[in-house]
């Protein structure tokens, strides 16, 4: 299993988003920062945000 870091996550997001629109690493860092702020401030438990993103990924996979 791949060990993820924030930098690897941002690079993967840019790579995937780059196919659709212009995006740069600084913009993606800001987006990831805002998401992490929301998760932190909402005090979401690991299972809550994991389940949320996993469900979204499954929904998006069905569209492909």
- Indicate the pTM of the whole model: 0.63
The pLDDT tens digits of the residues spanning 29-64 come to 888 888 888 888 888 777 888 888 889 899 989 887
> Average pLDDT, stretch 4-24?
77
- Segments making up each domain of the chain, as ranges: 6-63
Cα 61 to Cα 14, 37, 57, 58, distances in angstroms: 18, 26, 6, 5
In eight-state DSSP terms, residue 23 is: -
pLDDT value of position 63: 81
Q: For the purposes of burial, counting CB atoms within 10 Å of the CB of 58, is it exposed (0-12), middle (13-18) or buried (19 or more)? A: exposed
């Amino acid at each position: 299993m791949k060990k993820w870091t924030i930098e690897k996550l941002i690079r993967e997001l840019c790579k995937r988003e780059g196919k659709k629109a212009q995006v740069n690493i600084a913009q993606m860092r800001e987006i990831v920062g805002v998401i992490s702020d929301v998760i932190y401030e909402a005090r979401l438990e690991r299972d809550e945000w994991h389940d949320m993103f996993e469900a979204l990924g499954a929904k998006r996979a069905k569209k492909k």
